[in-house]
Amino acid sequence: MEKDVQVLEDVTVRFAGDSGDGMQLTGSQFTNTTALAGNDLSTLPDYPAEIRAPAGTLYGVSGFQLHFSSSDIQTPGDSPDVLVAMNPAALKVNLRDLKKNATIIANENAFDSKNLKLAEYETNPLEDKSLEGYNVIPVPLTKLTHAALDGLTLSMKEKDRCKNFFALGLMFWLYSKPLEPTIEWIEEKFKKNETVKEANKRALHAGYGYGDTTEIFTTRYEVEPAKLTPGLYRNLSGNEAVALGLVAASHQAGIPLFLGSYPITPASDILHELSRYKNFGVKTVQAEDEIAGICVAIGASFSGSLAATTTSGPGLALKMEAVGLSVMTELPLVIVDVQRGGPSTGLPTKTEQADLFQAMYGRNGESPVCVLAASTPGDCFHMAVEASRLALKYMTPVILLTDGYLANGSEPWKIPAIEELPEMKVTFRTEKEGFFPYLRDENYARPWAIPGTPGLEHRIGGLEKANITGHVSYDTKNHDFMVRTRAKKVKHIENDIPDLEVRGEKSGDLLILGWGGTYGAITETVTRLLSKGYKLSQAHLKYLNPMPKNTGEVLKRFKQVLVPEINLGQLAYILRAEYLYPVESLTKVEGLPFKSSEIEEKIISMIGGK
Amino acid sequence: MSAQEVKTEGAKLTVKDFQTPHDIRWCPGCGDYSILAQMQRVSPDLNVAKENFVWVSGIGCSSRFPYYMDTYGFHGIHGRAPAIATGVKVARPDLSVWVATGDGDLLSIGGNHFIHACRRNVDLKILLFNNRIYGLTKGQFSPTSEKGKKTKSTPYGAIDHPFNPVAVALGVDTTFIARTMDRDAKHMQLMMNRAAAHKGTALIEVYQNCNIFNDGAYEHLTEKDQKPDTTVFLEHGKPLIFGKNKDKGIRLNGFTPAVVDLSSGQFTADDCWVHDEFDKSPVRATILSHFTEMEDFPVPFGIFRQTTKNTYDGDVQQQIDDITKSQGKGDLMKLFTSANTWEVK
Ligand code: SF4
């Protein structure tokens, strides 16, 4: 049957099912294929905190959203155009997010009385007209998958498990994408199990074939490749990007990378990634707890490694005494906090930006550290490199803030040439003449003299240091001097970072100022409003401490400044305190990134409709 | 790091090379002085270049130790010395890494790091200054204080049951466990030498007198007139015999030890328990470790048990070497492009 092909500029799809249904896998396969096809894209995995919540329940629903486009995009999309719902619970949980008249592809075999009850449906929504207005396409996914696997010696359960590949095949057909990348992946992944390999391939083909032959689908869609900056690309998540960034920094610095870490959601993937890079000389220690994670890193830093520790909010809280120790001992250390919903255990699998205060101020005493924040998954690479550069150059701990959304989300990443990476060659102190542990260079950095260097034996620690000699000192005047010197050192970094750039008019009525992972949503909103003729500007802070030198001046060029944050206004608070500028705050703490419509609404309310 | 293995040029190291010019701030008469002196005495002969020693400590009186050793030193935070030292050793297996710590530091706030360093068998030498009290915070009971002990924080007597550090160390399969005392310089030096020669985690529990807050805690073990009857010195291959006249022995009936009289003619040295430092089974060392809680039994000093197992730091390096050999040295560009890539023209 001939089918129409309709060209679309962008599409947002969401796969949803039980946490055991393989939705994250389905989503990431669709993502990779879409990326290879040259679309710009952005993803948002959303999964429950339980690993395998009971099947069919509302709280066990796992989702993966992907926005892909033929033009430059910034977010995983506000509301999906298409929902693939593997069961009633998946439909129920996701329905409210969908666009009006969105397409719903539902596995009708899963809409039995048991699952309907678990999802708290009194009647079957596929039949009771409650979905009127949506384009509902019921597909007997389970049955068709079983039929496709006829003759294979697999249990019913094992056959059931292949239905996500059927759904994937169908979606590939619907969006005119090739099957090859997924087939290659299946071949590799299941090379040890011939039957499962065959089953998954058959399910994938069957799904594709179903789209082609059934009369339900009259149209298929195409999203053309995006016009990205020329270059070599790959798809990259924020956590992978941090791992690559640290390895790249170690390469540039010419010293080995050492990671001390403790498993914690959503940061563990950085530990997993780095544990694989043994042939880069990367040493990873999965420590007995968060505190040990940072302490082994401090030991490694003392003895000459590029040391890092990775964690999330609760872990950072545990590490803080040791962060203070690296402030006092003035050793380079990269601390990555992949923020999640808090306080306490909070929402481990949901995103938030509420650790800014913790990063800035969460230690005893006057304890300034450099604080950076990445703005997109790909930017996590650059900021991990930057965090390392600053740590090494200024002999200071640097906290890099990312978040669950950046960590698990992904986007096409333009692979940099090695020559484009910043210079950061480290030289250890070896000269005995004139050596003092706390004699500073022009950047207020003290010398890095590592064990094994003859003649430079010295002792450091958490007690206050005498200026220059580094001996223990209880002298009160010296303490005052050292406190101010440490603060001055961190502040001095402002001379080594880029100015805050303003997009759009350099002065005017309204500036939208964001930080960290809200970049995508803000950019998308501003782009849309600019194209509609609104007058507004945008800036994004990636350096939170110190802030770019021109920050105060930028603020003052605008009549109003709006600061959207996934917290209760932490950056807004700091800006008001620091620059005495009455910024307006837009906050949301729902464990999810901003939708650009939410930011748009606020902006319109500030500057009025047009 | 081969360049750093080169010894300092010139003459052989001496005690003086390990002394710092700083005033030592322990109370006069403190047992810590002896530990420092013995360590400075043995260090020149350990066959380690001076610059390759690293001393790491936590918080407490004992943890001031690194300031008084003229080597690389790191005075850490409370309880975390084993973790910091692990980082030093794993990053740089070429270094000789020592930990100075106390009963509060290692066994209370640092308990977790202690057992995990031992479990992993990181090649660290840990000197546990056990004075059974918190000194630096001025006299609260510690995890090794005896039950019922009256201190500032336990005016009616401590309710806590104490820790048995040797038994704990045996429980996590520590590969070298020894005990010595501040008042026996020769024995302490011997233990330090033996610990230094051991590859893997070596724990030396030093009974150390805090003459300010817990004076005399070990008097019955250290004073000449009582020591022979209250202590037994473990020597590999030798029977467990003690007493002023070497007239008491320890026999093992199954798993039950008994103190026997060697003067009555009923038992001879041949009937006594012969110490085996390298015993594959931890059972006998565990029985020995509990003598401290058994009435009429002498307190053992010496090496309880020494075993061999791969070191953590060694295996970390080995894995890196093996994988680098099989996969080739990492290439950054190859790593960047290790996922599916596409070209945008
Ligand atoms: S308080 Fe006790 S342990 Fe501390 S230095 Fe004084 S005597 Fe030694």
Q: Do A472 and B74 touch (CB under 8 A)?
A: no
3-state secondary structure of B251: strand
Q: Is the peptide bond before A266 cis (omega within 30 degrees of 0)?
A: yes
CB atoms within 10 A of CB A592: 18
- Token pair recorded at residue B99: 């930990």
Task: Please check the confidence at residue A592 and state whether its pLDDT lies above 70.
Answer: yes
Q: Phi first, then psi: give them for residue B99, nearest 5 degrees.
A: -120, 130
- Token pair recorded at residue B339: 């996922």
The answer for B238, left when phi > 0, alpha when psi is -120 to 50, beta otherwise, is: beta
Residue A410, chain B, CB below 8 Å: the answer is no
- Token pair recorded at residue A240: 């992978």
> Which CATH architecture does the domain made up of A508-607 adopt?
3-Layer(aba) Sandwich (3.40)
- DSSP-assigned beta bridge partners for residue B83: none
3-state secondary structure of B218: coil
Q: What is the dihedral of CA B130, B133, B136, B140, to 10 degrees?
A: 160
Residue B76, chain A, CB below 8 Å: the answer is yes
- Token pair recorded at residue B58: 């936590």
Q: Do B89 and A457 touch (CB under 8 A)?
A: no
- Spatial distance between the Cα atoms of A438 and A461, rounded to a whole number of angstroms: 12
Please choose, from the candidates B222, B264, B226, the residue with its C-alpha nearest in 3D space to the C-alpha of residue B247: B264
Do residues B341 and A234 lie in contact, with contact meaning Cβ atoms separated by under 8 Å?
yes
Residues in A 242-281 with any Cβ partner in B closer than 8 A = 244, 247-248, 251, 256, 258, 260, 277-281
Topology adopted by domain B3-222+310-314: Rossmann fold (3.40.50)
Q: Residue B135: CB within 6 Å of ligand 1?
A: yes
Q: By CA distance, what is A420's nearest residue in B?
A: B333
Please choose, from the candidates B50, B48, B168, the residue with its C-alpha nearest in 3D space to the C-alpha of residue B115: B168
* DSSP character string of A165-217: HHHHHHHHHHTT--SHHHHHHHHHHTTT-HHHHHHHHHHHHHHHHHHHH-SS-
For chain B, which ranges sit under pLDDT 50? Answer: 1-8
**What residues does CATH 3.40.920.10 cover in chain A?**
4-223
Q: What is the 3-state secondary structure (H, E, C) of A214-263?
A: CCCCCEEEEECCCCCCCEEEEEEEHHHHHHHHHHHHHHHHCCCEEEEECC
Specify the ligand 1 atom closest to the Cα of B213. Answer: 2
pLDDT at position A19 is 80
B53-57 and B96-102 as β-strands: parallel, antiparallel, unpaired? parallel
Q: Do B74 and A288 touch (CB under 8 A)?
A: no
- DSSP-assigned beta bridge partners for residue A341: A347
Do residues B258 and B250 lie in contact, with contact meaning Cβ atoms separated by under 8 Å?
yes
Q: Do A471 and B22 touch (CB under 8 A)?
A: yes
- Token pair recorded at residue A539: 């800036």
Residue A241, chain B, CB below 8 Å: the answer is no
Length of chain A: 610
B72-75 and B53-57 as β-strands: parallel, antiparallel, unpaired? parallel
Q: Residue B137: CB within 6 Å of ligand 1?
A: no
End-to-end CA distance of chain B: 45
Q: Do B324 and A279 touch (CB under 8 A)?
A: yes
- Spatial distance between the Cα atoms of A131 and A123, rounded to a whole number of angstroms: 12
**What residues does CATH 3.40.50.920 cover in chain A?**
508-607
The answer for A254, left when phi > 0, alpha when psi is -120 to 50, beta otherwise, is: left
pLDDT tens for B26-43 read 999 999 999 999 999 999
- Spatial distance between the Cα atoms of A226 and A8, rounded to a whole number of angstroms: 12
* DSSP character string of B213-236: TSTTTTHHHHSTTTHHHHEEE--T
A459-461 and B72-75 as β-strands: parallel, antiparallel, unpaired? parallel
Question: Which of A184, A239, A285, A473 to substitute to test the interface with B, most B CBs within 10 Å?
Answer: A285
**What residues does CATH 3.40.50.970 cover in chain A?**
229-495
pLDDT at position A528 is 93
- Token pair recorded at residue A441: 């260079």
Average pLDDT, integer, range A56-75: 92
pLDDT at position A227 is 87
Distances (CA, A) of A517 to A198, A541, A566, B22: 40, 10, 9, 51
- The model's pTM: 0.93
Q: Is the dihedral of CA A560, A566, A572, A578 positive or negative?
A: negative
Task: Please check the confidence at residue A143 and state whether its pLDDT lies above 90.
Answer: yes
Q: Phi first, then psi: give them for residue A219, nearest 5 degrees.
A: -130, 140
pLDDT tens for A392-440 read 999 999 999 999 999 999 999 999 999 999 999 999 999 999 999 999 9
- Which is the CATH superfamily of the domain at A4-223? Pyruvate-ferredoxin oxidoreductase, PFOR, domain III (3.40.920.10)
- Residue B79 CA, ligand 1 centroid: distance in Å: 18
- Token pair recorded at residue A349: 């699998």
User: Element (H or E) spanning A360, and its range?
Assistant: helix A356-361
Task: Please check the confidence at residue A45 and state whether its pLDDT lies above 90.
Answer: no
Residues 6+ positions from A254 with CB-CB distance below 8 Å: A425, A426
Distances (CA, A) of A161 to A137, A148, A149, A200, B67: 21, 13, 11, 9, 63
Q: By CA distance, what is B7's nearest residue in A?
A: A454
- Token pair recorded at residue A439: 């004699």
Residue A1 pLDDT grade (very low, low, confident, very high; cuts 50, 70, 90): low
Provide the greatest CA pair distance for chain A: 88
pLDDT tens for A213-232 read 988 888 899 999 998 899 99
- Token pair recorded at residue A432: 């005995």
Q: Phi first, then psi: give them for residue A102, nearest 5 degrees.
A: -65, 160
Please choose, from the candidates B88, B60, B83, the residue with its C-alpha nearest in 3D space to the C-alpha of residue B72: B88
Task: Please check the confidence at residue A371 and state whether its pLDDT lies above 50.
Answer: yes
Q: Is the peptide bond before B257 cis (omega within 30 degrees of 0)?
A: no
Q: How distant is the alpha carbon of residue B322 from its chain centre? A: 32
- Who wins on pLDDT, A212 or A379? A379
CB atoms within 10 A of CB B65: 28
**What's the angle, vertex CA A525, arms to CA A522 and CA A529, rounded to 5?**
140
Which class for B119: exposed (0-12), middle (13-18), buried (19 or more C-beta within 10 A)? middle
Do residues B61 and B32 lie in contact, with contact meaning Cβ atoms separated by under 8 Å?
yes
pLDDT at position B5 is 42
- Residue B26 CA, ligand 1 centroid: distance in Å: 6
Please choose, from the candidates A480, A91, A125, A419, the residue with its C-alpha nearest in 3D space to the C-alpha of residue A251: A419
**What's the angle, vertex CA A34, arms to CA A32 and CA A38, rounded to 5?**
110
pLDDT at position A324 is 98
Task: Please check the confidence at residue A610 and state whether its pLDDT lies above 60.
Answer: no
3-state secondary structure of A378: coil
Query: B87 vs chain A: nearest CA distance in angstroms?
Result: 4
Q: Is the dihedral of CA A439, A440, A446, A451 positive or negative?
A: negative
Q: How many percent of chain A have pLDDT more than 70? A: 99
Place of tokens 């890494």: B97
**What's the angle, vertex CA A375, arms to CA A369 and CA A376, rounded to 5?**
135
Topology adopted by domain A229-495: Rossmann fold (3.40.50)
Average pLDDT, integer, range A224-241: 93
